[in-house]
Structure 1
């Protein structure tokens, strides 16, 4: 399919594009604010529109009218596409709740449903709860992003406790992707019920353990996703993680991973001079590299960007570098001797769901 994604540069838009990039062969046409004037042209011949762009800042009138205006622009683009594209709408559980945002999102849904009916296409209204995850903007995308960045920097944010339902942004992205083929008109994915204070405590506990390189107990779902959110907020400033060699007359011992529960898998590799390993990324997996012999450069690039971070490492002073999710990574032997590396991942390798997506760091 050829899929146009609005709001492509935003939090949910980027995650949706990353997931499509990793798990499908669809041709994605990204539209952000700079490309909005060309929306109608970009929509020509499109098979589907995933409308994520929205307005959640400004005066009450700007928020309400802004969301309706965006929906009308998308509706006009769908009419002129010449291909009756399916329309998937990233709506909110606040839709219709009487707030300016809820009113604007609800009216936007009406606009898009009407145009889908007029052009003989399908419309799917996806009502999302509060989203959180890696690379959210603090003070903007969610309180989780604000807390993660504060904890990563040793700051204390204001915590006003309440019950909240949280959906990881990659799960939201998958819901939007599933809506490309569903027969449902309304989709309401459920999140995880928790509290604001509980999220803050979990992030604090994770940060306290991780400050020394220890890996906390990572239950599936919210705990693992929050830990990955914290790691993203710390990257690259808090890396590499310095390991502490302990020596005696017999030699030296260095702890590479201290895991406080859950499964995990450790393996060791040797790499000849000039050879590069890796060249892939993960959507959920926690993976650690630790060079214990030789010299290497570990390089990472944020998916769908040209942003590259590199670390020079040596077995003479072992450090750990943990790969943030959705960053392509590799390791290259830059020395004249054989490179020895210990790799650790927080889950057992499953060939049916490896969570490993090949891609070179250098594009």
Structure 2
């Protein structure tokens, strides 16, 4: 299969090309797409003469090229209608009635220059489909967001993510405006489904099912909370798919010299204890470093529970039920054999470094530490 992608260097185009390359290299699988495919990329940097050859060879066309922020108003029609007309003329020349997907916009129903130009491109394709029998997929996309989207151009999400990560001001004229958004990975997945041409298509207009409507102010609040999370250590609530996708998008706009951030290490003569990640409903993760010969702990909990994982060094973790003063349970642990130890409630416990080097332990607890309700009681094992 030879797939022609116009606008291959645009936001959607880059992501689609990347996933098709993954399929070619078998880093990603799609049951209905063979890895034996050719990607014919056409963009502003491509020799125009190649379009004629591509239109002759193509088995499927993703028509993603378009104009949405021109210098002059007339460029809307030239880019969104004129180029589509040129594309179809070349297909007719070669009598190539391969399926075509076109990237349109929800603004195609509006009375503005951009919307009119997108609607004109749609109508041209509908007429072409009726004349040639070519299968047609018209997608009227809402606001698409995700990695590689150009900020300060035509995406509020991209602009907010870029400006907030770079400590630049943002402008929100009306936080109560409803935004309809769709994530780039969902768009790409939907477009790849178009290649399953064995299915009988009965419609021309399509949409991505995972659209999300949310107020502009709520988007800003979420993005600002992502930035603050480096200080609070609280990760977002990923049970909400939109928050998960928006956070991934936010990270893609981090300045390249700010991928890392420091943690507060609580250091004393015994070693250190450092909080790493906190979650309102999943507890927190910390890293404990113990010096040789050092024992830490000797406490128990009513409800709070923990998991310990020694990743470097060796030691012993000891338990005793608080109502059984003489029965001590001992587990030997080592970074050479990774195993998790559950710390049951009602057992006082400690951890001792038995090695000659620092022992590093990853510790998870099911709730964020609350100094007003620590649920931690000292008692020697």
What residue is the counterpart of 1:274 in the other structure? none
Deviation at 1:241, TM superposition (A): 2.6
Higher relative contact order (CA 8 A, sep 6+): 1
Instruction: Answer yes or no: is 1:110 the counterpart of 2:128.
Output: no
What residue is the counterpart of 2:193 in the other structure? 178
Deviation at 1:235, TM superposition (A): 4.3
Deviation at 1:245, TM superposition (A): 3.1
- In structure 2, the residue corresponding to 1:165 is in which secondary structure? strand
Deviation at 1:55, TM superposition (A): 0.6
TM-score (normalizing by structure 2): 0.65
Structure 1's unaligned 5+ residue stretches are 267-291, 294-339, 345-363
- In structure 1, the residue corresponding to 2:45 is in which secondary structure? helix
- Which residue of 77, 95, 99 corresponds with 2:90? 77
What residue is the counterpart of 2:154 in the other structure? 141
Instruction: Answer yes or no: is 1:219 the counterpart of 2:239.
Output: yes
CA distance in 2, matches of 1:43, 1:80: 9
The 3 A distance-change label for structure 1 pair 144 and 173 is same
The 3 A distance-change label for structure 1 pair 124 and 180 is same
- In structure 2, the residue corresponding to 1:95 is in which secondary structure? helix
CA deviations over 1:108-139 (Å, ceiling 9, x no partner)? 11222333333332111111111111222111
Q: Is the 8 A contact 1:90 1:176 kept in 2?
A: no
- In structure 1, the residue corresponding to 2:128 is in which secondary structure? helix
CA distance in 1, matches of 2:285, 2:231: 22
Instruction: Answer yes or no: is 1:157 the counterpart of 2:170.
Output: yes
Alignment of 1:155-304 (within 5 A): 155-161=168-174, 162-181=177-196, 183=201, 184-190=203-209, 191-211=211-231, 214-261=234-281
Deviation at 1:186, TM superposition (A): 1.4
CA distance in 2, matches of 1:87, 1:2: 13
CA distance in 2, matches of 1:93, 1:138: 20
Deviation at 1:213, TM superposition (A): 5.2
Q: Is the 8 A contact 2:275 2:284 kept in 1?
A: no
CA distance in 2, matches of 1:174, 1:247: 48
What residue is the counterpart of 2:61 in the other structure? 49
Give the total of aligned pairs.
Answer: 273
CA distance in 2, matches of 1:139, 1:18: 23
Structure 2's unaligned 5+ residue stretches are 23-27, 287-310, 313-359, 365-381
CA deviations over 1:122-176 (Å, ceiling 9, x no partner)? 1111111111112221111301111111111222211022111111122122222
CA distance in 1, matches of 2:18, 2:284: 25
Deviation at 1:54, TM superposition (A): 0.5
Q: Is the 8 A contact 2:69 2:154 kept in 1?
A: no
CA distance in 1, matches of 2:53, 2:278: 54
Alignment of 1:95-134 (within 5 A): 95-134=108-147
What residue is the counterpart of 1:35 in the other structure? 46
What residue is the counterpart of 2:73 in the other structure? 60
TM-score (normalizing by structure 1): 0.68
**Structure 1 residues 50-59 or 33-42, which shifts more?**
33-42
The 3 A distance-change label for structure 1 pair 211 and 238 is farther
- In structure 2, the residue corresponding to 1:218 is in which secondary structure? coil
Aligned alpha-carbon RMSD (Å): 2.9
- In structure 2, the residue corresponding to 1:94 is in which secondary structure? helix
Higher CA-based Rg: 2
Deviation at 1:84, TM superposition (A): 2.4
CA distance in 2, matches of 1:12, 1:265: 37
CA deviations over 1:90-114 (Å, ceiling 9, x no partner)? 1111113221111111111122233
